Amino acid sequence: MSLTKRGNTKFTAAFVLAIFITMLTVACGSDSGAREDVSIPRVVASDRIYTVDDLKVQGVKTVKSYKVDELPGALAAWNAIYNQLDYEARFYASHEDAVAQGTLYADSVTGDDAVVTGDDVLWQEGKSDRRKCSRAAQAPHSSCSYSARYLEYVIRGNMILFCEGDESSKAFENCEKFLALTEPA
């Protein structure tokens, strides 16, 4: 093999390796599934005790109460609609209970990796309300691809509030708008 051909082979191998490493880095990313960084805090400690009555404000419609006997630590859970968006509020005895007993269940049904169908859903009650159907135009209902309705949640006091949005930052923004309604005047 000539010197020129050997040099080209080394160059080609190095070039292919560089492309492979670049593709692998882009495909895997550096977050390994972490949600996008937003300025709105997910958990805010507070002694405030929320109830469903705090949701019954101008513009909010409380739609459905869920049975919580299989949701550890929860006292109540409600589905509500505000500005044509769905929300779910889960109530616990304290902020500490909401964080300790509710975070695992909240993480499991939010975000891009949410589990919203099948037997692996941690809390079965109301699971169909926590998912949305995405399908191509003109596709039959049977080709539905389910994804999480709620991309994010926030914990304020004893309440975990799940919020809709097309992306994580918009869902957080919707949570903040909803929570602003529940603040005393």
CA distance readout (Å), 80 to 3, 55, 66, 163: 73, 8, 11, 10
User: Residue 7: what pLDDT?
Assistant: 52
User: Residue 1: what pLDDT?
Assistant: 52
User: Residue 147: what pLDDT?
Assistant: 87
pTM of the model: 0.75
Q: Where do the domains of the chain lie?
A: 1-30, 38-181
User: Residue 26: what pLDDT?
Assistant: 35
Q: What is the mean pLDDT of each run of 10 residues along the chain (185 residues)?
A: 52 42 37 47 92 92 96 97 96 97 96 90 94 71 79 96 93 94 79
User: Residue 29: what pLDDT?
Assistant: 36
The Cβ of residue 85 has, within 10 Å, a number of other Cβ atoms equal to 17
Amino acid identity, position 171: A
User: Residue 104: what pLDDT?
Assistant: 97
User: Residue 34: what pLDDT?
Assistant: 40
User: Residue 172: what pLDDT?
Assistant: 94
